[in-house]
Structure 1
Amino acid sequence: MKDLETLKELVASITDWKSLEKMSCKPFKPSILHLAISKDAPQLYREEELIQLKNFSNLLSSVESKPKTHNTGQMMTRKRQIEEMPKEERVTPAMIKKPRSIILVQNRPSPDLPAEFKNRVSELSGHDLKFLMHKRLFCSDVKPNSNRLSMPINEIKCEFLTEAEITKLDERDGPNGKGRLVGVEVTVLDPCLREFTLPLKKWSMQRTDTYNLVTNWNSIVSTNKFEEDQELQIWSFRVGNKLYLILNKL
Structure 2
Amino acid sequence: MRSLETLKELVATITDWKSLKKMVCKPFKPCILHLAISQHVTQLYSEEELVQLNNFRKLHSSVESKSKTKNTDQRVTGKRQIEGMPKEERPMPAVIKKPKKIILMQNNQTPDLPAEIKNRVTELNGHDIKFLMHKKLFCSDVKPNSNRLSMPINEIMCEFLTEAEIAKLDERDDTNGKGRLVGVEVTVLDPCMREFILPLKKWSMQRTDTYNLVKNWNSIVSANKFEEDQELQIWSFRVDNKLYLLLNKL
Give the TM-score normalised by structure 2.
0.58
2:126 match = 126
The answer to whether 1:137 aligns with 2:137 is: yes
Q: How does 1:219-234 map to 2 (within 5 A)?
A: 219-234=219-234
Aligned to 2:29: none
Higher relative contact order (CA 8 A, sep 6+): 1
Quote how far apart the aligned CAs of 1:189 are: 0.4
CA drift of 1:206 comes to 2.0
Deviation at 1:218, TM superposition (A): 0.2
Contact 1:104 1:157 in 2 (8 A): no
Aligned residue among 83, 104, 107 for 1:106: 104
Provide the C-alpha distance between the structure 1 equivalents of 2:228 and 2:155, rounded to a whole number of angstroms.
19
Instruction: Give the whole-Å Cα distance in 1 for the aligned partners of 2:177 and 2:133.
Output: 31
Task: Please say if 1:154 is aligned against 2:169.
Answer: no
- The Cα offsets for residues 172-226 of structure 1, whole Å up to 9 and x where unpaired, read as 0023111000000000000000000000000011211000000000000000000
The alpha-carbon deviation at position 104 of structure 1 amounts to 7.4
Aligned Cα RMSD in Å? 1.4
Give % identity: 85
Deviation at 1:109, TM superposition (A): 1.1
CA-to-aligned-CA distance 1:61-81 (integer Å, 9 cap, x gap): xxxxxx76xxxxxxxxxxxxx
Instruction: State the Cα distance separating 1:112 from its structure 2 match.
Output: 0.3
For residues 37-92 of structure 1, give each alpha carbon's deviation from its aligned partner in whole angstroms, at most 9, with x where no partner exists.
Answer: xxxxxxxxxxxxxxxxxxxxxxxxxxxxxx76xxxxxxxxxxxxxxxxxxxxxxxx
Q: Using the alignment, how far apart are the partners of 2:174 and 2:226 within structure 1?
A: 34
Counterpart residue number, 1:244: 244
Aligned equivalents of 1:134, 1:163: Cα separation in 2: 24
Which 5+ residue runs of structure 2 have no aligned equivalent?
1-85, 88-100
Tell me, in whole angstroms, the C-alpha distance in 1 between the residues paired with 2:213 and 2:156: 14
Q: Which residue of the partner structure matches residue 36 of structure 2?
A: none
Q: Deviations over 1:9-60 (max 9, x none)?
A: xxxxxxxxxxxxxxxxxxxxxxxxxxxxxxxxxxxxxxxxxxxxxxxxxxxx
Distance across 1 between alignment mates of 2:175 and 2:166: 20
Give the SS at the match of 2:201: strand
Query: What is aligned with 2:187?
Result: 187
Higher-Rg member (1/2): 2
Aligned length: 150
- Supply the distance in 2 between the matched residues of 1:109 and 1:207 (Cα, whole angstroms): 28
CA distance in 1, matches of 2:140, 2:192: 23
Contact 1:104 1:156 in 2 (8 A): no
What does 1:43-58 correspond to in 2, within 5 Å?
A: none
Cα separation, 2, equivalents of 1:220 and 1:241: 24
Tell me how far apart the structure 2 counterparts of residues 195 and 115 of structure 1 sit (CA, whole Å): 18
Residue identity in the other structure for 1:110 = T
Query: Unpaired runs of 5+ in structure 1?
Result: 1-66, 69-102
